[in-house]
Amino acid sequence: MTTSTPRTRRTAVAKRDTAPAPHVKTLRQAKGPGFPAGRMLIASPQAVADVVAAIPSGHVITFPMLRAALARQFDADYTCPITTGIFLRVAAEAALEEQRADALPVWRVVREDGACFDKFIGGPDQQAERLRADGVEVERRRTRWYVRDLSGQRADS
């Protein structure tokens, strides 16, 4: 008879702190939509957190803008969309675990169309509330919250 030990879930802080350093992978041929041939950055939770921490109050960046900023920083053609989303969540959860969630303003990252994220910690209602508290105008359209004037609120404007 074999006994198995219960698997313990790693904390977000552990995931952030043990993640490999950002690195650029050269794709010689396209691997599918969103993965063209070229130099693709695989970021890290800390690299994502550093960009997010620099977003000023009253401004937002879109997820593609976050990816573009990371790619520029590491001299890549683009940043992997899948790992960037994962690392954004890991960075947010790590800040929450360290009880410094307000220090990392992940609520200032919105979807390309200005919509709040469904999977935001606390949900899109809390993200909209945090954005309003920052002075960003948001409005409800059908079932989603959106930044009212995305062009005037972007951190790169």
| pLDDT tens digits for range 24-61 | 999 999 998 889 999 999 999 999 999 999 999 999 99
The DSSP string of 25-47 is EEESS--BTTB-SEEEEE--HHH
pLDDT band at 4 (very low <50, low <70, confident <90, very high): low
Question: Would you state the pLDDT for residue 32?
Answer: 86
Q: Is the pLDDT of residue 124 over 90?
A: yes
Better-predicted residue by pLDDT, 140 or 150: 140
pLDDT band at 119 (very low <50, low <70, confident <90, very high): confident
Q: Which of 28, 147, 27 is nearest to 80 (CA)?
A: 27
Question: Would you state the pLDDT for residue 156?
Answer: 65
Instruction: Domains for the chain: give ranges and CATH numbers.
Output: 12-153 (1.10.10.10)
Please report the sign of the dihedral spanned by the C-alpha atoms of residue 54, residue 57, residue 58, residue 60. Answer: positive
How far is Cα 79 from Cα 70, in angstroms, rounded to an integer? 7
Tokens found for residue 25: 């992978």
